[in-house]
Amino acid sequence: MGTGGLVSTLKPLMEKVQGTWVAASTNPLDNEIATQYKNNKIPLTGNNPDFHVEFLTIDSKKYDDYYNAISNSVLWYIHHYIWKPPENEELFNEIYYSWQDGYIPVNKDFAQKIIELDSLSEEKSLVMLQDYHLYLTADFIRYKVDDIFLNQFIHVPWPEADYFAMLPGYMIDSILEGLLANDVVGFHIPRYADNFLKSCEGYADKVDYENSTVYNDGQETMVRSYPISVDTSGLKELSKSSNVKKYEDQIHNIKGENFLIYRTDRSDMSKNIARGFLGYEKFLRDYPEYQGRVKFLVTGKPTRENLDDYKNYRNAIKLLIERINWLYSNPDWKPIEEIFDAPYELVVAAYKNYDCLMVNPICDGMNVVSKEGPLVNETNGGMILSEQAGSYEELKDYVINVDPYDVAGTSEAIYKAVTMNENDKIRNSLCLKNVIENHTINDWISEQFHDVEGKF
């Protein structure tokens, strides 16, 4: 989830408490806008704003070290089981200096801004930190301000302790020290919380597994799971809008009389897009009778294209799509349609009309696509869901499960989706909608506040 997604997710809460969102300006345009307001404090909700965003203006080199070199090239990778330790001393040194010159200073900048805001409050402040970009911030705040409540939610998977231990020791110690300065640390599912508790063994003073609590240096940290969901009422309302209906005509033209498989992802390696297409290619090869009767629609999104790994992955996907289309297309049909960087209204139009949604990440904190799609789908569409998606724990009884690394298994999952009988489709679709509607984004927020209130 990017900053924009988090702001929209927490917007109702921020308005209610008249809170302030602290964010880093990521480009010259952000800086230019921020400097037009006193203290870089930008109102987000009209003439009488209920909450603001305060931008931190950060030197571009420092920000690059913080965001690209560490957050998105080391931490993101370790959380999604795709990190490879550097192969030589020079690369190790680059990581070390990016940590020292970028990640640590930017976390201190965030902490200092929050400390300044706290000093303006007459009441005890509640600080809600988000994700892996700010692992050190709580400790820097706690060092200066004792009477403050710190809550941090981690949106990515927490890996198994042995895998997390692949990081350099100076990172491991600093990350654990930072997170254990919080009063509450939250994850999407119990498995991630358990992995974190195990990572604290040997570092913290005491790990209490029975009460899911860590004690360290006089601080008691509750470790909890809060599965994130979607704004069900808002999404259903959007799905009925004229803008979405306009894009449905485009989806119907693409679909024709075909069975429509659909996926929508950012172009990053953890989403496992390539293996999804390789599984589809194997399906077309093994079940040629479905050539000309099945279509795969993908609406991709660019992400971190300034980093070579992401750029190369995007190019590899593009070449794979071209190859499959070249091998299997005929004058009246091509197997894959791609709409890159599609507007969200088109995505929702595709949600409404797919026959099978493919969500096969290598690893994902939750993956809200797996909740958005079934909620508004109107065709009793099925879902192929990776066993490593965080949402799998909630949705597993009503999906076609797949090992994300298993291309042959993905091919067979597609065959199962295409040949599923109508009664099973209807049952699965209704049950998915029921599960998703019974736990919304409001529940995710209220569950966290229930635990905050118990300790505040």
pLDDT digits (tens, 9 = 90+) for 133-144: 999 999 999 999
Higher-confidence residue of 337 and 309: namely 337
pLDDT at 340 (0 to 100)? 87
CATH number of 232-438: 3.40.50.2000
What order of strands is seen across the sheet that includes strand 20-25?
20-25, 52-57, 41-43
344-353 helix and 369-376 helix, angle to the nearest 10 degrees: 60
Q: Topology of domain 58-229+442-455, per CATH?
A: Rossmann fold (3.40.50)
| Cα pseudo-dihedral 225, 118, 139, 229, rounded to 10 | 20
66: pLDDT strictly greater than 70? yes
Place of tokens 């795969």: 296
344-353 helix and 232-239 helix, angle to the nearest 10 degrees: 90
Please state the domain extents for the chain. Answer: 58-229+442-455, 232-438
Structure tokens at 170: 């100076």
Average pLDDT, the chain: 91
Q: Give per-residue pLDDT as tens, 227-249.
A: 999 999 999 999 999 999 999 99
Contact in structure between 152 and 219 (CB atoms under 8 Å): no
Higher-confidence residue of 1 and 240: namely 240
357-371: string of b/e by CB count within 10 Å (b at 16+)?
A: bbbbbbbbbbbbbbb
Q: CA neighbours within 13 Å on the CB side: how many for 319? A: 6
